[in-house]
Structure formats: C-alpha cells, structure tokens
C-alpha cells in the first residue's frame, strides 16, 4: 500500500509488448490518491523517450491482413454476409 496516497496496487508487466499496467489490489482505494498517482506518473513519464517497439510492424501487418481477409470475404458474397448479419441479429 502506498501510505500517503491511500491506494493499493500491483504491477502487471508484459515485456513482449513493452507494456506495464497498474492494477488496484484491495477494497480500500482512494480516488484522489489514484488521481495524484496518475498526475505524478504523467509528469514523470511525459519526458521519457523510448525507442519504437520492434514488433509494431508485425502487429500492424497482421491487422492489415485480417482487415483484407474480411473485405475479400464480403466482396466475394455480399448477399451471404448480409443474410448472416440478419440471422445473427434476428431482424
């Protein structure tokens, strides 16, 4: 627990994505404490410069391929896609 802020947290890291999350731990939390922590981290990390994530190109490429696959599936048989949507939404 951070005694001066009245919050409890744990750090979840995902090194492959170069990401860290702060997750609340415990039932007693101070909204003002979280806000103060957010402001302090924003000020400290706003000046931090890091290199680009080398996996970004692969992730963007995978997303582009998935979007292309959806577009191709719709263009091959738009009536079937529309019918599937109607069936799914029960319209």
* Rounded distance between C-alpha atoms, residue 4 and residue 6, angstroms: 6
Q: How confident is the model at residue 91 (pLDDT cuts 50, 70, 90)?
A: low
84, pLDDT greater than 70: yes
Q: How confident is the model at residue 2 (pLDDT cuts 50, 70, 90)?
A: low
Closest by Cα among 37, 10, 14, 36 to 25? 10
- pLDDT tens digit string along 42-74? 998 988 888 888 889 999 999 999 999 999 988
pTM listed for this prediction: 0.58
- pLDDT tens digit string along 9-27? 999 999 888 889 999 998 8
The maximal CA–CA distance of the chain, rounded, in angstroms, is: 61
Please report, for the chain, the start and end positions of each structural domain, with discontinuous segments joined by +.
9-46, 56-89
């Amino acid at each position: 627990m951070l005694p001066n802020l009245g919050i409890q947290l744990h750090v979840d890291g995902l090194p492959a994505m170069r990401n860290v999350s702060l997750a609340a731990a415990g039932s007693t939390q101070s909204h003002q404490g979280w806000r103060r922590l957010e402001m302090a981290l924003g000020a400290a990390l706003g000046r931090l410069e890091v290199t680009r994530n080398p996996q970004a190109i692969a992730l963007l490429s995978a997303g582009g391929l998935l979007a292309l696959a959806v577009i191709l599936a719709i263009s091959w048989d738009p009536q079937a896609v529309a019918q599937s949507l109607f069936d799914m939404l029960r319209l």
